[in-house]
Amino acid sequence: MAKNETTKQRGWLNKSDMAASLGISPQAFDKWGVEPVARIGREAFYTVQNVVQNRIDHAARKQQPEGADGEVIDPLIEYKLNVERLRLTAGQADAQEKKNRVADKELVPAPFATFALAKIAAQIGSKLETVGKTVSRRHPDIDPRILETLEREIALARNIAAQFGDDLPEILDEYLATLDK
């Protein structure tokens, strides 16, 4: 049975020779954690290429700070944090400016405007309900057909006024659509 024996190749150096060529001790070389190319008996062999690659990888890891669990920390985190702070500050300034304009009665929130207009529409509807009886009391000689026609038209207007509060969101959407054009 033939045994595959590894023989030393040209360019391979053992740990002592590699450490001496680098000007460091064999113990310091061990700490670098360079993987050997091959082992022959108890002796480990290294190539300059593997040592250089190990040092490049080590330098790259040093340049990238790591978190507690080993994840790479974003080097632009400070910049991103400052951008978010700026965005938050601008948003807070805009909100305060809107509050000031509401307090100065220059700006009205849409929910309040919807509430107020719906309330006004309800008042108009209730007033329209009494118009027919008021006209018939003040003018008893009016023709009943005319009074009936008047009450029918008033009922239509009253229904429009009653539905106005429900139609406000659609009207607002329609208005905003015209602003986009």
Could you tell me if 169 and 99 lie in one domain? yes
Range of the domain at 159: 94-180
Could you tell me if 59 and 100 lie in one domain? no
Q: What pLDDT is recorded for position 69? A: 65
Could you tell me if 101 and 162 lie in one domain? yes
Could you tell me if 53 and 102 lie in one domain? no
Tokens representing 12 are 């391979």
Q: What pLDDT is recorded for position 126? A: 85
**pLDDT one-digit tens code per residue, 83-113:** 999 999 999 999 999 999 988 888 888 888 8
**pLDDT one-digit tens code per residue, 41-88:** 888 999 999 999 999 888 877 776 666 666 667 778 889 999 999 999
Contact partners, residue 43, CB within 8 Å, separation at least 6: 14, 15
Long-range (24+ apart) CB contacts under 8 A made by 33-38 are 37/9, 37/12, 38/6, 38/9, 38/12
Could you tell me if 99 and 176 lie in one domain? yes
Could you tell me if 98 and 176 lie in one domain? yes
